[in-house]
Structure 1
């Protein structure tokens, strides 16, 4: 159950791909952000469309006071964008240690190092806290059990009234993901759609 992009594995603790550092700027939520990426991390050449779609919805979403969890942070675009634009404190977690090293460097580079906490967690295994908002762009090719756990187990880590936002392509299982959420959450909806990407919202009642 390891996701592969162009032959690289990134849903793994220690990618073995040869380093290939790249730098680029990208505007997210009104801020021009600076990222360093590497081989062995997801979407290393640009911020993927699904992530951008989810962030646009998140910026318009009301959620209670509290920390935000960026689950599967990669090199950090989601957590960094939320910390910068919404002035939130964000926990940024991933199973991939190479990604976490990049996420910390990118947070510091973009001036939000003091607002974020970057640490390793295989899905929710390393997470103890409860959050106002959880954001996830699930690694579909890691397998259905991984994706389902990311979605359903969010309920155990949300504050009362807290929300999960998850982005998936319709053709890669958004309708079934919605049903999985409805099995554990009473309040599930489609918060946004764009070019085949669905942003699912689940509220912890």
Structure 2
């Protein structure tokens, strides 16, 4: 057994490279994945619901943020659909960041996807959109701290899209965000997941 989690900074799990295939908005993607990152063997069901039900930023410009990028499925879709945007793919896991960078090159967006550790995002960057299938399993306090760190960097007219499983606290997170002063709409529900649209 290993002590690695997908939020381990330097996973020691054997990489066992593989590929994950999925489709979004009529486009097919084949991305590199590996052990030691989130949902290494497939497109995570929550991420699939998010990409199916949220309003994809086709043609968007400006800076977009993917919190907890994993091997990069959200970042790559955003960069592919919004060639005028810059995507910041944030993950604490160095293997995930390397995979995201490689996958950005696969979709022709190597120059527009910045796969970085959280502290490497310039302090003056604000985000037109934030996307995340947040790492619920880091714990509620840590999750709240994560969202307190990034949501305030949303542009005044920006929007954040989050997906959370109902049985992992999707409704309680909705209430917490409202109590924290955010406008929150349950945009969609599917397969036990809540897609939340968050604005100022």
Q: TM-score, with normalisation over the residues of structure 2?
A: 0.89
For the pair 1:118 / 2:110, whether they are aligned, the reply is no
Question: Aligned partners of 2:142 and 2:59: how far apart in 1?
Answer: 26
96-105 vs 56-65, which moves further = 56-65
Which of 105, 109, 113 is matched with 2:106 structurally? Answer: 109
Match of 2:30 in 1: 34
**Runs of 4+ in structure 1 displaced over 6 angstroms?**
61-64
Provide closer, same or farther for how the CA distance between residues 161 and 195 of structure 1 changes in structure 2, counting only shifts above 3 A: same
Give the alignment of 1:178-193 within 5 angstroms: 178-193=174-189
Provide closer, same or farther for how the CA distance between residues 198 and 62 of structure 1 changes in structure 2, counting only shifts above 3 A: farther
The secondary structure found in structure 2 opposite 1:89 is strand
Contact residue 60 and residue 82 of structure 2 kept, 8 A? no
For the pair 1:143 / 2:117, whether they are aligned, the reply is no
Question: Aligned partners of 2:62 and 2:13: how far apart in 1?
Answer: 37
Give the alignment of 1:43-62 within 5 angstroms: 43-60=39-56
What are the Cα deviations for residues 14-40 of structure 1, in whole angstroms up to 9, with x where unaligned?
011112111232212322112111110
What are the ranges of 5 or more consecutive residues in structure 2 without an aligned counterpart? none
Contact residue 20 and residue 43 of structure 2 kept, 8 A? no
Question: Aligned partners of 1:116 and 1:166: how far apart in 2?
Answer: 20
Which of 43, 55, 69 is matched with 2:65 structurally? Answer: 69
Provide closer, same or farther for how the CA distance between residues 60 and 101 of structure 1 changes in structure 2, counting only shifts above 3 A: closer
Provide closer, same or farther for how the CA distance between residues 188 and 24 of structure 1 changes in structure 2, counting only shifts above 3 A: closer
The secondary structure found in structure 1 opposite 2:159 is strand
Q: TM-score, with normalisation over the residues of structure 1?
A: 0.87
The secondary structure found in structure 2 opposite 1:101 is helix
What are the ranges of 5 or more consecutive residues in structure 1 without an aligned counterpart? none
